[in-house]
Structures are given as C-alpha cells and as structure tokens.
Amino acid sequence: MTDAPIPSAPVESYPQGEPRETRLKRMKMRSMRRGIKEMDIILMRFAETELDGMSDAELDDYDAILTQNDQDLYQWVSGQKQAPANLAPMIDRIAGHK
C-alpha cells in the first residue's frame, strides 16, 4: 500500500471569504471538539496559542488538518506513522508544540 497524498481541505469544508475573526473561532471550536480526547487536548492547546499569529496560508494548512480522521492525526502527531508530505509541515509544527 502506498502513501498517496492526502488532499488539502476541500473548498466546501470552510466558507470562502469568511472574516478572519469568524474563521479563528470556527477553527478553535473544531480543534477542541474532535472525537478522541487525545486530539481534543493536543489541537486545543495548539489552537489557543498558535492560530491568532498564523498567516492565511498557514490557516489553510491547519484547516486541511482539521478535515482529517482523528485516528490518522494521532498516529501522525505521535510519530507512529509518517504524515503525508502535503500535511507534514503542519503536523510537525503541532507535534513540536509544547
């Protein structure tokens, strides 16, 4: 089985032209209401300290992360599996966050 690239967040996954403040609130909420508690904690802490300072491009990358399955995310963030190349920079940033 090959590791095919995981697609970025589909355009429909978040409103285009969404005001930044609204986008940040939505992303913070999605970060803390995941599905598995471990990812709630990891992403909530990351979102609380990092999102406000991110560029729009970085927010796009984080939005792509938020569309992923929690089981996959946890394995990538914890280093159990290698993240797809297109998501790896943001996964590494999340994994390195303290």
Look at residue 1 and tell me whether its pLDDT is greater than 70.
Answer: no
- Give the pLDDT score at 2: 44
pLDDT digits (tens, 9 = 90+) for 35-87: 899 999 999 999 999 999 999 999 999 999 999 999 999 999 999 999 999 99
Q: Give CA–CA dist 73/57, Å, rounded.
A: 20
- Contact criterion met (CB below 8 Å) for 14 and 63: yes
**Residue count of the chain:** 98
* pLDDT score recorded for residue 17: 82
What would the pLDDT profile of 23-38 be if each residue is shown by its tens digit? 999 999 999 988 899 9
